[in-house]
Structure formats: C-alpha cells, structure tokens
C-alpha cells in the first residue's frame, strides 16, 4: 500500500483498512462522538437553556441560512 499524502489518499488508505478490519470502527466511533459532543456543548453555551433556547437558535440558524425565508 502506497504512503498516503493527500486527503484522498487517506480516504483510500482507511477505506481499504476498514474493509478488512472491523476493529478500526472503534476509532471512528470515538471521533464521530467527540465531534458531536463538542458541537452540542458549543451550541448549548451559545443559546442557553429553557424558553430562550429555540428563539436564540432560530435567530442564529436564520443568520447562517439553515432557516430560509418562506418563498
């Protein structure tokens, strides 16, 4: 197997490895869940808790285009 250099080389490297070795999924689970937990923590801090959460979140989501105005 050639030494990975570019991002796509790494994609290829891991896809080949994972195809043959399911133990690599443990590492994937840790990385995926770590990203979800970081994201959750960040946005909880940004938007607060309780009644204000949805209104604060919606304001932010509109600003980044994830809530689009109704046509």
Partner 1 sequence: MANGYTIEDNIIVINRELTKLDIFLRDFLEILKRHSDYLVVSGYVSICSGRTRATEDVDVLFLMMEKDRFDLLLEELQNNNFWCYQGDSSDEVYPYLKNMDNIRFARVGETFPNIELIPINESRKAKFFEFTHPQGIRVKNFELKIPPIEFEILYKEIILGSDKDVADAKHLRIFFSDIIKKEKFKEYETIIRQENK
Rounded distance, CA 60 to CA 29, Å? 29
Closest approach of partner 1 to the CB of residue 3, in Å: 17
The one-character DSSP state at 45 is H
Task: Give the residue ranges of DSSP H helices in the chain.
Answer: 7-20, 24-47, 52-63
Q: Which string of x and - marks every residue 49-68 that binds partner 1 (by CB under 8 A)?
A: x---xx--xx-xx----xxx
Residues interacting with partner 1, by CB under 8 A?
Answer: 7-8, 11-12, 14-16, 18-29, 31-33, 35-36, 39-40, 43-44, 47, 49, 53-54, 57-58, 60-61, 66-68, 70-71
């Amino acid at each position: 197997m050639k030494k990975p250099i570019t991002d796509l080389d790494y994609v290829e490297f891991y896809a080949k490895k994972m195809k043959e070795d399911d133990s690599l999924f443990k590492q994937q689970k840790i990385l995926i869940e770590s990203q979800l937990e970081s994201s959750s923590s960040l946005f909880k801090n940004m938007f607060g808790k309780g009644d204000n959460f949805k209104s604060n979140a919606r304001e932010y989501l509109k600003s980044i285009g994830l809530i689009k105005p109704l046509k």
